[in-house]
Amino acid sequence: MGAVPGYRIVLASGSPRRRAIMTGMGLEFTVVTSGVDETLHDYDGASDFTVQVARRKALAVARSEPEALVVGCDTVVGLDGRIFVKPDSEQDAARTLRELRGRTHHVTTGVVVVHGVTGRCHGRSATTAVTMRAFGDDEIAAYVASGEPLDKAGSYAIQGAGGALVDRIDGEYDTVVGLPVSVLTDLLREFDRPDQPGRTVPGLRPPGVRPPGLRPPGLRPPGLRPPAVS
């Protein structure tokens, strides 16, 4: 995609996976982590949750980077009306994986782009369905012991050893990794359209953006079979 004319881009996330995706898009950007509290109690489903938290991250960084386009992201796993964020312990990670195995859950990533000087804010989410294998307790124990699940929403990383736990996906692979390329591309393009001013940002302009709903899932990536957990 390249640069957005007239704007610097800042990623409000320390995630190496999101950095890799944006680099793969050909974007030039810097990283400033937000350090915000990601706890949220008042939300309407996974889309609302992720867009609210992504907006919170982007807004925190936009206050120190007002001239840049600040990209905030958040990813959660949803199953049976519940939202799974990052586990708080190895026991929590193992418990989450036992609930996910052999079933289909949904991974939602919210993306928000904020421009502090103008107060413009565009946000959207995407969701991908992920079906897990009926893996055994021994696989769960080995995977949790590797440490990989401990900082991942839903307690697994599809792009790492956790991919061996996945049977299939229906939707964009990048959504599960943590940054849907199609959504970010669309949001950045909004800043080239003067007829699409977006919503204004709380703390910079009243009132805030409300998530417009789920984006239809994209194409399934070919050959999803990472190495098995040893």
Predicted confidence at residue 212, as pLDDT, reads 34
For 132-143, the DSSP string reads E----HHHHHHH
From 44, 74, 170, 186, the catalytic residue: 74
- In the chain the domains, ranked by start, together with CATH numbers, are 9-214 (3.90.950.10)
Is 204 or 32 the better-scoring residue by pLDDT? Answer: 32
Whether the pLDDT of residue 226 is over 90: the answer is: no
Would you state the torsion angle of the CA atoms of residues 166, 86, 219, 79, taken in this order, to the nearest 10 degrees?
70
Residue 74 is a catalytic residue = yes
Specify the pTM. 0.82
Q: Give 139-155 pLDDT, tens digit per residue.
A: 999 999 999 999 999 99
To which H or E segment does residue 107 belong?
strand 104-115
Q: How far is CA 100 from CA 30, 41, 47, 154, 191, in A?
A: 35, 23, 20, 8, 39
pLDDT digits (tens, 9 = 90+) for 76-85: 999 999 999 9
pLDDT at 230 over 50: no
